[in-house]
Amino acid sequence: MPVDVFFRTEEEMPELELLALDYCKGKILDIGAGAGSHALLLQERNARVTALELSPGACDVMKERGVRNILQKDIFDFREGSFDTLLMLMNGIGLSGTSAGLRHFLKHIKKLLAPGGRLLCDSSDISYLYEDSPMPEDKYFGEVQYQYEFKNIKGPVFKWLYVDWRTFAEIAEEEGYFFRLLHEDGQDQYLAMLELK
């Protein structure tokens, strides 16, 4: 993924991400905030946003860019606060790694959601990758592994999840959430909103 994707302006963001920002309300936690592009736009709208990011380097970049409230922490270690909106864009929900990990994540964030709170996230249906080959039988087809490499230096292999909206809706309902499909972009990507039942 090109680095400039993480530094997009409002004009460069896709409709799906801008729509997600419009659905943000109250006290907001931007999970996996990266370089802070979404947090900065929310700040410009006078929203109360906290950027949560694991990477120390990304936190430094956000600070330099003017993000005011930054927490360097893993979401699974984060238990403080009560938020009206949990925001996870650029397939941030993928950090759950597997469909079982998604269930664990949805259980965890219940502690972070204020009454009437919501999770806004996007993901992609990657079933098109299997149009000419069989689907995996030993795991959900959206469970993949990545490894970043920069100047011949390889990072660790990590799991990532792309979850189609029907599967996500089913898992969300089973874990005690209402699932609402807000937008599909025509390129297998969608925006969803989850609210506790």
Q: Where are the domains of the chain?
A: 28-129+155-196
pTM of the predicted protein model: 0.94
**CATH homologous superfamily for the domain 28-129+155-196:** Vaccinia Virus protein VP39 (3.40.50.150)
Which two three-digit tokens encode residue 2?
Answer: 């090109």
What would the DSSP string read from start to end of 55-101?
-HHHHHHHHHHT-S-EEE--GGG-----EEEEEE-SSGGGGG-SHHH
pLDDT in tens, 150-182: 889 998 999 999 999 999 999 999 999 999 999
pLDDT at 10 over 90: no
Mean per-residue pLDDT, 77-87: 94
- pLDDT greater than 90 at residue 80: no
Q: CA-to-CA distance for 92 and 164, rounded, in angstroms?
A: 14
Q: How confident is the model at residue 118 (pLDDT cuts 50, 70, 90)?
A: very high
Q: Kindly state the tokens that stand for 73.
A: 């922490």
